[in-house]
Chain A
């Protein structure tokens, strides 16, 4: 998604302003000019100034070229059905992973994760599940067995190997 520079600028001014206000609540160190709030405060001012400059630039570009200017522009892929679906699935599987991996376990979650993504890319349907399963087991072996990363077993706990 593309936003006009002026919109980015407005967001940055808000962020910078919020920062400056937020750091006022940080404690001061007695007898010193520098506390934990100084640096973020400077960053807040910097972000706000950059934001103002971006607002000016965005508006100037719009007035210079009203035809080609936009406030919000969808990316080109938003009009392509396959890419739109792929993006939705990409977001969905990652959220799903975070939510269910502890309960379902890595092997099952990983297989579903890979299968779903390969499904929306152009992998031949009959091959998807076997490839997804084998590759998940491979990653599981490398990290769980070789590197001893405690990947969760979930529902497969009773048959853990």
Chain B
């Protein structure tokens, strides 16, 4: 046990790894602080580079970059009234209102300090929950896994989006993309239409880069809004008064971090949804809800800790079951497979040092966030002046070279560009993207477990619910399916009878 921890320390504190973490921090802070570049995009852009690294530095780069990006997304919210990442959108107006009142340093400080606190809370939950869940999951058979994956996909459609029908469509499309190629139980080439490039399936990484990076750039290129103006205000010591806030709002911090971790762990819902929900919750339970929206720090404290704790929470299902908790871990799972660190409960027993190293990485990332984030706030005005008209074309060229680098084929570039256009069109038509990504990541797992369960049970569908845990998971999945449906039917009937009655 302690031997594995020692190995983990050795892996994490290797000079190369430290260097990677510092580099990834600066990258993450920058990406988060530039509006239009998201934390998920930071991850997607890192993949081609991490492709050439050992497993732990590769994960280190992603963990630190995303933690930093979710925090630094608060900065342009404060100074430009534009969220740097979607995870800051929930409280952008609040932060900007604080800046208008001359309280920019408190808003930024609260964002920074309580991001780190939330991140550490999420990490603590990850450290406790993941190993015990993994131990529990060691007894799972294909029946349980089938239901788990189905439940994850169900959550992504019904809980994480406000468009369940369209979410279902994109989920099916994602599962269909995952079905391309020889990677099926019968090794029959499906949907390849004679193209040998498709035999191995559609690459996960080019699809992710396209959907999360290229689509953002298309949006930027056709963007009609004029450049926002930076609020010029001297920013003093951002740490001033933070202890006071921690003493004043302990319940809010705890509630935000808990909710954030839970939302993060739910498949498909990530930091942005966590922030929206906890901001709403903060207002709902506040003693002074009338102050919300006028530059009141309470909501920023709560949702600022929620979005960072969601990051760590999302790793729980990702590491234990290989089911991504958010779009970032969807990419992470692709990286883990590339590094032969296939997620699953056996990862915890065969290579515990790798898991401990991931825990340590999260702790370090959230600790170095304080000094590096402070530096980032100091440099904020300069970062916000970086011309995006130069930046966006360069990122696009980087995406092209990055997709090429994975397999050295132009075919992957094509896949990436198509994925970018598809994501742009789908989102313009209110089709959510996350279910599609989860479908692509989990498609093979769903089919494999379904087919091996069918073979084991000789086609008897009752076997899917005859094991107690499988039965419970199945019941839960069906409940998530039919509860919203029943509720909307009920609402429709009530509306109709209400219309008839005078």
Whether, in the assembled complex, B425 has its beta carbon less than 8 Å from a beta carbon of chain A, the answer is yes
Name the interface residues of B209-244: CB closer than 8 Å to any CB of A.
218, 221-224
Whether, in the assembled complex, B375 has its beta carbon less than 8 Å from a beta carbon of chain A, the answer is no
- CB neighbours of A3 from chain B (8 A): 429
Assuming the contacts A90-B218, A123-B389, A139-B398, asked whether A149 and B408 have C-beta atoms less than 8 A apart, the reply is yes
Whether, in the assembled complex, B462 has its beta carbon less than 8 Å from a beta carbon of chain A, the answer is no
Assuming the contacts A39-B450, A43-B179, asked whether A33 and B425 have C-beta atoms less than 8 A apart, the reply is no
Name the interface residues of A28-59: CB closer than 8 Å to any CB of B.
29, 32-36, 38-40, 43, 46-47, 50-51, 53-54, 57
- CB neighbours of B405 from chain A (8 A): 143, 147, 149
Question: 7 nearest interchain CB pairs?
Answer: A121-B389, A117-B393, A77-B222, A36-B188, A36-B186, A149-B405, A33-B459
The majority secondary structure among interface residues of chain A is helix
Complex CA gap A159/B398 in Å reads 23
Whether, in the assembled complex, B379 has its beta carbon less than 8 Å from a beta carbon of chain A, the answer is no
Residue-wise interface mask of A (67-102) relative to B, using a CB-CB cutoff of 8 A (1 in contact, 0 not): 000000001110010010011001000100110011
- CB neighbours of B398 from chain A (8 A): 139
Complex CA gap A12/B171 in Å reads 13
Expressed in whole angstroms, the minimum distance between the Cβ of B71 and any Cβ of chain A is: 26
B side interface size, CB within 8 A: 50
Complex CA gap A3/B179 in Å reads 27
Query: Which of A75, A147, A151 gathers the greatest number of chain B CB atoms within 10 Å?
Result: A147
- Is there an interface contact between B393 and A114, defined as CB atoms closer than 8 Å? yes
Complex CA gap A75/B401 in Å reads 30
Whether, in the assembled complex, B454 has its beta carbon less than 8 Å from a beta carbon of chain A, the answer is yes
Complex CA gap A2/B427 in Å reads 10
- CB neighbours of A98 from chain B (8 A): 410, 413-414, 417
- Is there an interface contact between B428 and A27, defined as CB atoms closer than 8 Å? no
Complex CA gap A39/B176 in Å reads 9
In the complex, given contacts A77-B223, A77-B224, A117-B392, what are 20 additional A-B residue pairs having Cβ atoms less than 8 angstroms apart?
Answer: A27-B186, A36-B188, A38-B451, A39-B184, A39-B447, A43-B179, A46-B168, A51-B169, A54-B169, A87-B218, A94-B417, A102-B410, A114-B394, A114-B397, A117-B221, A117-B396, A123-B387, A136-B397, A149-B401, A149-B405
Interface set of A (CB-CB < 8 Å, partner B): 1-3, 8, 12, 19, 22, 26-27, 29, 32-36, 38-40, 43, 46-47, 50-51, 53-54, 57, 75-77, 80, 83, 86-87, 90, 94, 97-98, 101-102, 106, 110, 113-114, 117-118, 120-123, 131, 135-136, 139, 143, 147, 149-151
- CB neighbours of B396 from chain A (8 A): 117
- Is there an interface contact between A139 and B172, defined as CB atoms closer than 8 Å? no
Complex CA gap A117/B218 in Å reads 11
Assuming the contacts A57-B165, A117-B396, A139-B398, asked whether A76 and B429 have C-beta atoms less than 8 A apart, the reply is no
- Is there an interface contact between A47 and B169, defined as CB atoms closer than 8 Å? yes
- Is there an interface contact between B221 and A151, defined as CB atoms closer than 8 Å? no
- CB neighbours of B172 from chain A (8 A): 43, 46-47, 50
Whether, in the assembled complex, B400 has its beta carbon less than 8 Å from a beta carbon of chain A, the answer is yes
Complex CA gap A77/B455 in Å reads 53
Complex CA gap A22/B168 in Å reads 22
Complex CA gap A27/B425 in Å reads 35
Complex CA gap A3/B404 in Å reads 33
CB within 8 A of A101: which of B169, B176, B410? B410
Assuming the contacts A35-B186, A39-B447, A40-B176, asked whether A151 and B401 have C-beta atoms less than 8 A apart, the reply is yes
